[in-house]
Structure 1
Amino acid sequence: MSRPKLRHIAFVVRDAAKIADFYREQLRMEVFHVDPDGSHFLTDGYINLALIQHQLDSETPVGFNHFGFAVADVAAVSDRMVAAGVPRPVTRPTDRPFAEYRAIDPEGNWFDLSEHGFLPPDKEE
């Protein structure tokens, strides 16, 4: 069995374009997607960084939001999680192309699970 790989980190930010420019210019990350709401997605070629544009009408606070694992078999991972006493991961909305499932750890931290990975097809590992 292959080990899940941490491949995605997400923050809610007040100015996604400005923060994306910082990571692009200072750390040479590449923007590979921009959502209609202004959220920016960058990559170093291995891990992607989601800069989720804060919405004034949202209850989601600015700061760390979630992380994500690329896994070989979501069903097997889900079964192990349920056996460990946490809820079964749920399907993400179809407008979120970078992960198929949302899960929660015993402390209530959100994380995503994806069989296809978190990068666009032309950048997949």
Structure 2
Amino acid sequence: MTRPRLRHLAFVVQDAKRMAAFYCEQFGMELFHTDPDGSHFVTDGYLNLALIQQQLDGDVATGFNHFGFQVSEIPPIAEKLAEAGVPRPVLRGGDRPFAEYRAIDPEGNWFDLSEHGFLPPGLAE
């Protein structure tokens, strides 16, 4: 891979199960992961769409949340981001195996970085 590739989009939704069913039924996407919080992850085999279940006790509104790039190596990208004046990416917490690092652009939009990609094991990257 010579340049980062956009491979992941994430939206906070009110009913992740219903939204996943919609994308699977209407566009032939496949459900490949469900989080304990009810978030659903679907794919078309290339792009991963995260449907993050909105939490009533949370402060994150519905709508676009973040996107993610698959990259060959994190360190050179982290260095370029630091040189561009934004914070270095930080290791993501939690148990989601889809992205290793979280970063922000100059206007504060979140994006993920992953060396292994955003699709589940066994699906071609």
Instruction: Calculate the TM-score normalised by the size of structure 1.
Output: 0.98
Counterpart CA distance in 2 for 1:124 and 1:102 is 23
1:124 aligns with 124
Matches of residues 7-18 of structure 1 in structure 2 within 5 Å? 7-18=7-18
Q: Which piece of structure 1 moves more, 115-124 or 4-13?
A: 115-124
1:51 aligns with 51
Counterpart CA distance in 2 for 1:23 and 1:116 is 24
Counterpart CA distance in 2 for 1:113 and 1:5 is 10
Report the CA distance between 1:96 and its aligned residue.
Answer: 1.9
* Paired AA for residue 81 in structure 2: M
Instruction: Calculate the TM-score normalised by the size of structure 2.
Output: 0.98
2:28 aligns with 28
Report the CA distance between 1:124 and its aligned residue.
Answer: 3.4
Question: Does structure 2 conserve the Cα–Cα contact (< 8 Å) formed by 1:117 and 1:124?
Answer: no
Report the CA distance between 1:121 and its aligned residue.
Answer: 1.1
Counterpart CA distance in 1 for 2:108 and 2:49 is 21
1:65 aligns with 65
2:100 aligns with 100
Report the CA distance between 1:100 and its aligned residue.
Answer: 0.2
* Paired AA for residue 5 in structure 2: K
Aligned CA RMSD, in angstroms, stands at 0.9
Report the secondary structure of 1:82's partner residue.
Answer: helix
**Where does structure 2 lack aligned partners over 5 or more consecutive residues?**
none
| 1:82 paired to 2:113 | no
2:40 aligns with 40
Give aligned pairs, total. Answer: 125
**Where does structure 1 lack aligned partners over 5 or more consecutive residues?**
none
Poorly superposed stretches of 4+, deviation over 6 Å: none
Q: Which piece of structure 1 moves more, 59-68 or 92-101?
A: 92-101
Counterpart CA distance in 2 for 1:91 and 1:44 is 27
1:6 aligns with 6
Q: Deviations over 1:55-104 (max 9, x none)?
A: 00111111000000000011100000000100000000141210000000
